Structure 1
């Protein structure tokens, strides 16, 4: 009986400390799904793998959302503490981004389901974006050490909206999200670069978030194509090659990243790599570039290996109790 009580206490403690950052796993899997769908259409193989990735993404979102909802019901104070945390606050819009990405992935085969999921995600994104911005401005003091590339997440969420919003017919709403996201990306990029250059280095657990630098211009490229009728114009090239430049900066940090122990923040690597993969494959198709096709294929292989490794390492960490514990 005491063993049962003990196990129950352990489970309740893990639920209390179930982090909002777990939604980053959904973003990574959704990005993988979009990359596999595009590769299947471009290279003619991997359709079943893309479909499997879609349902894995949906299952992951359902599990993470259910556990976080249970946490909100049973441990409201812990959720409030995360909302008031200067770093974790930025991860709340990962919920809405995940929904919009799932809606994007569903659109090709399940249009009406995609519409419902996207509308819910877009509405939640608007609420969370405004709430996070309100939390950033004037309510509590922030220090430069609190800023990290994770602060891009609310802005990236806005830029994601046109990917499915335009094909579903919500063009003006998509422009609203895109314009807002793009402007705040520029503002936040200035703040983040100031913090990275002129202040102490990122702590180990936040160091993987450097990869998030790639995501805004890569997703912005894809959103601009959706809004601009698929034209590979000058601004599209600026966004794409900005993402490539940030990827080059990140590659130079890989030796430092590899020396760090695994943490849930490692999932921050997955979605930016997926966004760059999709952007590269789209660029290759529009430009008719074999070099970009080969680069996109290499990135896809890297992405599949990366996500598989993250799933494996996360499973090991959960089994050891290294995740969902007091910090």
Structure 2
């Protein structure tokens, strides 16, 4: 019988959320460089960390799949965990922001694999929702990832220097925004009417910010400007983020760190990027202040998550954190 620690059977696919958070934070700091004059090396260093994390996790999860495919299959059939298979796909859609500075071909390949994988996963999950009866307690913020994650498809397209992809951008934007409405409603209803989420899952509540933060950036990227609808998405992002940050302030006192906390990283980073992008178009002390505060919160949160995760890895405690 194989040692469980060597097969990495305990490694959740949702740990790729860390790559999403680092990639999103790299983009946010690049925008901060353009708008506030922040040092560019910060964005570059975070971006390289995202690439390194992605490579390491692909190898680790590949070992898990090779040594125990049934474990992966069980994870994919789980009503909540299956949605987190969108995290490696979204990572592939975000990494081109980093890779394009080193290799356009590699950036294009990453985006292409991510776009195909994200679309296939969204189709699979929606088909499952329509054919398998699920219970209300199984509704979780993670449901947003595989379908609303289509909003990540347009983000890096302008960097790829590929003609003829505007329709693909509109497709990702349309699917992501359309499904964001019922999914947000379902999750909000579950939070109001069912038992509260377990403490280790509380950070995943911040995923509810993603439809507005990523939706804003995807919409602006696709249309090329900030109009009334984009402003509405930005305002909703600020409001929902303020509500959820208030909910999470007691979390460090009620639950030890888990890798599932990385679910909070990308929504925070995406919110920081959206806030800085909005401040760049509607610059004022208020919008600049919001952008700086959100960037600081996202940076500090991801730094803490990274430190806790690396400490767990070096101490051989990754299984406990997972």
C-alpha separation in 2, matches of 1:219 and 1:326 = 28
Unaligned runs of 5+ in 1: none
The 8 Å contact of residues 96 and 111 in structure 2, kept in 1 or not, is answered as: yes
Matched, 1:245 2:239: yes
Which of 185, 195, 198 is equivalent to 1:203?
Answer: 198
Match of 2:119 in 1: 126
The 8 Å contact of residues 97 and 159 in structure 2, kept in 1 or not, is answered as: no
- Number of aligned residue pairs: give it: 318
C-alpha separation in 1, matches of 2:252 and 2:10 = 26
Structure 1 pair 89–67 and aligned structure 2 pair: CA distance change class (3 A): same
The 8 Å contact of residues 104 and 118 in structure 1, kept in 2 or not, is answered as: no
C-alpha separation in 1, matches of 2:103 and 2:148 = 24
C-alpha separation in 2, matches of 1:129 and 1:160 = 12
Structure 1 residue ranges (4+ consecutive) displaced by more than 4 angstroms after TM superposition:
319-322
Match of 1:194 in 2: 189
Matched, 1:233 2:227: yes
Q: Deviations over 1:11-46 (max 9, x none)?
A: 325x12111111111111111111111111222232
Q: Between 293-302 and 170-179, report the one with greater CA deviation.
A: 293-302
C-alpha separation in 1, matches of 2:153 and 2:284 = 27
Matched, 1:258 2:252: yes
C-alpha separation in 2, matches of 1:59 and 1:164 = 19
Match of 2:155 in 1: 163
Match of 1:137 in 2: 130
- Give the CA deviation at 1:108: 5.6
What TM-score comes out, normalization by structure 1 length? 0.91
Match of 2:303 in 1: 308
Which of 257, 261, 276 is equivalent to 1:281?
Answer: 276
Q: Between 127-136 and 16-25, report the one with greater CA deviation.
A: 127-136
1:44-63 alignment, distance < 5 Å: 44-63=37-56
C-alpha separation in 2, matches of 1:272 and 1:326 = 21
The 8 Å contact of residues 155 and 182 in structure 1, kept in 2 or not, is answered as: no
Match of 1:36 in 2: 29
Match of 2:289 in 1: 294
- Give the CA deviation at 1:10: 5.1
Matched, 1:25 2:18: yes
Q: Between 99-108 and 259-268, report the one with greater CA deviation.
A: 99-108
- RMSD of the TM alignment (CA)? 2.0
Q: Deviations over 1:199-246 (max 9, x none)?
A: 1111122111111111111111011111111x2211001111111111
Q: Between 31-40 and 130-139, report the one with greater CA deviation.
A: 130-139
C-alpha separation in 1, matches of 2:315 and 2:194 = 35
Unaligned runs of 5+ in 2: none
